[in-house]
Structure 1
Amino acid sequence: MANSEFGYVRDFEQGDVLPPSNWIVVRVDGRGFSKFSKKYSFQKPNDRRALDLMNAAATEVVRSFVDVAIAYGQSDEYSFIFHESTSLFERRAAKLATSVATAFTAEYCMQWTTFFPSLPLTRPYPTFDGRCVCYPKRAILRDYLSWRQADCHINNLYNTTFWSMVLKGGMSTTEAEQALKGTVSSDKNEILFSRFGINYNTEPEIYRKGTIVYRSYDNEQEVGIRSADGMSKTQLEKERKRKQKARIVPDHLDIIGNTFWDAHPYILASKQPQTDGE
């Protein structure tokens, strides 16, 4: 940037570089999605088309940002986890948050007609905001993901019960809300089964567990995790191409327990320097 008498204005910019060796979560949320879902008559308690659209948009974001280790989504939110070693955008929070949020918004709008072919988008168009949160330890990051999946279950159980009482039980929304006050999970399960013949545990996993999006390799046991600090430009490009060729998998699995993580240890592995041939 050329120097001029006006260059002093750069001094007003605030630094927002995120600390090193921290896992970065960029979480995007739909803005005003209650009104948006009503405008397009989303099905209650879940609209599979809307969830599939969210997952399709997230898949392309993961494909675009190779430093994303894994993503998790439910309802109108998605969390994209950047590896602790990422140096993307020099780890600037505003760059990361706006880049992911705008990419997600663009994909959501561009892919809308694939999932809602008879409902053209009109203004105001859907948008997503983004925020960055750092987690210094892998264990804390795991707790974050567990928190989001537990939140998915709690909200879906409530919504499934609530809308069953309204749509199948003939109650008003106010009556259903009052009836569910003070209830616990076992109460809601009993209402669903005894009144509506619904076994919540057999409901589709995408509704109960949300969606994870991650890279899968042909032989995951041989996947090496390389450190950018110990790699040449040629090696960096090979690593990038390896990730770009990986299959991007959306799935609906438990991520609170250890089974998924034990089966895919490379996802949250620390990057250690390696030499060619290792």
Structure 2
Amino acid sequence: MKDYEIYSNLKVPRGSKIISRLDGRNFHNLTKKLNLNKPYDDNFIESMVNISRDIFNEFSPLFIYTFSDELNVLLSEIPFSGRIEKLNSVFSSLASSSMLKNLIESFDINVDQNISFDSRIIPVSNDTDIVKYFKWRQDEAWRNYVNSYGYWTLKKDFSPEIATDKLKNLKSSGIHQMLFEKGINLNDLPTYQKRGIGLYKEKKESTVLNPKTGKKEGSHRNYVFIDRNLSIFDKKFFKKINIL
């Protein structure tokens, strides 16, 4: 019967880093039930950050980038011998269980909906691929940011259907102008809403007592830094955080 598992040995290419992209499944209904603040809810955002922390604790990736209900996990040390079936199933199940735990803690309610993430594996063969991929996702975060503020602002005066139609007929500059006229300047809002949040390792200097010499000595240890003020992704950014 083992022969029926025809995809079990499908593996990522040797020598490549990989990105696991996780997307919340049917989260539109979930956000309705949770009655989240729109267009951005800080409790939900912190739940996504906590999922990222759990993934960091489990697999020690190079970098995690999250916005909306999406997580992008960059790995150089690839677990499960690179087996794609295993990677997809474990990462999606870890994200799902972590989300359920965090929602219950953050919103102090029982979540009566099944929560799941889908997962896909993207091999990246060089530094250029890494920069291009994350810039692509950050551009999507920006589009989501502009459209979300546009939609929820229009929805105050119009039905969901009319608000959606009006938004379709507006270019990005038109949405900016419409929001500005209503007292909302997109440039003044939090950076994490515009560009998402990144998690990566940084070295922290501390002073410890050497038990042999009795003297205080400097030491460094890695910790996970949560960057809520990301710059626009480029090669310089990823070199600065020692990814490239």
The CA RMSD over aligned residues, in Å, is 1.8
Output the CA distance in 1 between the equivalents of 2:30 and 2:135. 28
Residue 185 (1) aligns with residue 172 (2) = yes
Counterpart for residue 237 of structure 2: 260
Q: How does 1:149-168 map to 2 (within 5 A)?
A: 149-167=138-156
| 1:1-278 correspondence to structure 2 within 5 Å | 9-13=1-5, 14=7, 15-66=9-60, 68-83=61-76, 86-117=77-108, 119-122=109-112, 124-167=113-156, 170-194=157-181, 196-218=182-204, 246-252=222-228, 253-264=230-241, 266-268=242-244
Partner of 1:218: helix, strand, or coil? strand
Where does the alignment leave 5 or more consecutive residues of structure 1 unmatched? 1-8, 220-242, 269-278
TM norm structure 2: 0.87
Aligned length: 227
CA distance in 2, matches of 1:107, 1:53: 8
Distance 1:49 1:218 in 2: 28
Q: Kindly tell me: are residues 19 and 258 of structure 1, through their superposed partners in 2, closer, same or farther at Cα, counting changes over 3 Å?
A: closer
For residue 120 of structure 1, report the CA deviation from its aligned partner.
2.0
State how far apart, in whole Å, the 2-side matches of 1:153 and 1:254 are.
12
Q: Are 1:145 and 1:255, in contact at CA under 8 Å, matched by a contact in 2?
A: no
Q: TM-score, normalised by structure 1?
A: 0.77
Superposition deviation, residue 153 in structure 1: 0.4
Larger fraction in strand: 2
Q: 1:42, 1:206 → 2: CA distance?
A: 17
Which residue number corresponds to residue 240 of structure 1? none
CA distance in 2, matches of 1:20, 1:54: 30
Return the alpha-carbon distance in structure 1 between the equivalents of residues 52 and 26 of structure 2. 19
Identity of aligned residues (%): 24
Distance 2:222 2:165 in 1: 49
Which amino acid is the alignment partner of residue 165 of structure 2?
A: Q
Which consecutive unaligned segments of at least 5 residues does structure 2 have?
206-219
Q: Is the 8 A contact 1:255 1:261 kept in 2?
A: no
Q: In the aligned structure 1, how far is the partner of 2:163 from the partner of 2:78? A: 49
